[in-house]
Chain A
Amino acid sequence: MAYRFSVLFVLMCIALLISCSDTTKPTSATKPLVLVEKKVATAPAKSQDADELVVYSGRKESLVGPIIKQFIGATGIDVKVKYGKTGELAATILEEGHKSPADLFFAQDPGGLGAVVNADMFQVLPYSIIGKVPTWAISGNSLWVGISGRVRVVVYNTKNVDPSEISATLEGFTDPKWKNRIGWAPTNGSFQAMVTAMRVKWGKEKTEEWLKGIQSNEPIVYPNNTLIVAAAGAGEIDVGFVNHYYLYRFLASEGDEFGARNHYLTGDGPGSLVLLAGAGILKTAKNKVNAEKFLSFMLSKFAQQYFAEQIFEYPVVEGIEISRLLVLKKLLNLKLTEEVTKFEIDMSDLAETQALLRDLGLIN
């Protein structure tokens, strides 16, 4: 009988050992686990350099998965991606330190990139990459490059709000007429980026006043943008501060009768901030050349067209045709070429913003 247990124990150990090896060398026993990569490997290899590339992506697979597949198809490089939340992936990279398996960090927002910059873990990007984009899409020391942009907008319920009654700037929302009608997400990274922009542009005092003004209008608090857009569509709130592209997801899954639309604030205030999703190459990258190829590809006309047409984000490279859904190409040009839209989040700036929000009891 003793041997039955030993067999069980040994079997379990073997199972564990087998599962150990599945990332390093795919063995026959773990074939199904690496199905995805197998498919990848059969893609036509046009490039000589068919090494691999490890990407940590804070952008979800639902957004960037298809374009990464295109990259694999075009170059034959075996790209392995770890998808996760931008903040948690940044924390992971910091904990991994110089042992990090990641070559490239593709982040949803400048905050996540800032944390890695702060830890001095990104390498300077070559001109062949940063030369592709206008200066506003490059971080201060050329440590990361913007790949697509999201615009801060006001989402409004079409039944309860006429767009003409929405003020042109953020300041208007402290008006008591918006009492109990606003939705916001103080814990959200994009929102905190907007408040940081406010502090830079308006100064701390005015920003605090604005936040207090909104607070006195008793807004409903949401954990993220998706829920704000959903609430605006259902009429739970009349207006909400979000990024522009969530609306298009709802229009795709709920049809045109979805009850909310975007309102673009005019002028160059923080209400029309463009937030960059960007990427940088780690100092410890083992596949530096492939990582550079990846960035070049993401900044190519083809990939930029994908961001604009398929996931409704703003391209950072000039001369890309914008999806009709994104409206107002004129407005877009006005925004993106102006120096005011360039926005980088410094970690100390973000810390101050969070301290301010904490003092007002908006975050913990």
Chain B
Amino acid sequence: MIYLDHNATTPVRPEVLAAMYPYFSQHMGNPSSVHAAGRASRKGLDEARRHVAHLLEVHYSQVIFTSGGTEANNLAIFGVAGKKNPNSHPGHVVYSAIEHPSVGQCCALLKERGLEVTCVGVDSLGRVNPLEVQAALRPETILVCVMQANNETGVIQPIKQIAMVCKEAGIPLLVDTVQSVGKIPVNFMELGASMISVSAHKIGGPKGVGALILDKHLALNPLHIGGGHERGRRSGTENVPGIVGFGHAAQLIQDELSVESARLLQLRIRLESTLKAFFPELIIFGEETSRLPNTTALGIPGLDGEAMVMNLDLAGFAVSAGSACSSGKLTPSHVLHAMGVTDELARSCIRISLGWNTTATDIDAVIEAIRQTIYRLRCLASPVALAV
């Protein structure tokens, strides 16, 4: 079975698992304990924090470890929205239509709490327009949320321009970088964000760990209270082995990103150009704009994406018909919908996402499998074609 669903989750890299291993049963103390067992654990935690900080070019005190990307996004949004507002207005939040549910749903929920929200759309290539963000800002706006790269299409957003708009207006900007970290360079300062969220299991680290990176001047209302861990911003005994794995994965990315990024891009180009040569009618969502080097969202007019995915599964390839969170749902992707893609075309979509263990051989094999599957499904759809 060849795994081509790295945007859903990635296998833990063997080096990362090796780094984590001693922290389960050997250096197993509670990092809050003052004895040697606790200090050994604390040391692993501190080092990991430095590795993550180093990768994103921030000070280690800006790293809040969480249980994953979803918690990081929740903490950012409710953390800012939960702060007492100096003016009497409950506040206003701007977010894009293509956000991950952990951002989109949280923003939508703020309405229940009396805040106002504006959802900014995207163009047909899946890009947020910084001018539209600017136009949506109000005096009472307390937060803007735009992801750096979309999980379904890989389309990269003009974050620097959006950040400039936000900075001018003095409004904090949350950038969900769960899909971009490890695939393209992410530098907190350069990006201009006030907060970014990261997930370990998307970068060859373990599930159950993530981080929110925070501007030094930004204060948050915590979600999980009691114990005062993470400088009072996230209580709960730290998942030390997981955090150590996260740190190690970050360190590996630091060393390998430019080479790995180029390698993945080559593989993706090979995949896309070969398939397009076979099927000129194939649609690659967001093709004419910059995308993550590992992500291809294909639309195959007239075919059913779910059927494609099932057939590819039988052929030994794991791909997805959308994001993992929403897979299994029958509603077409909110991301493609926002791009103005028809429901019919959206239903034909499959997502192929490459990662650290993807090889050129895998790509050639999946190209062949997709080719055969498309032929077969088309023959099933119109048996007449066979006779002709």
- Mutual binders A and B: no
Binding site for B on A (CB under 8 A): none
Binding site for A on B (CB under 8 A): none
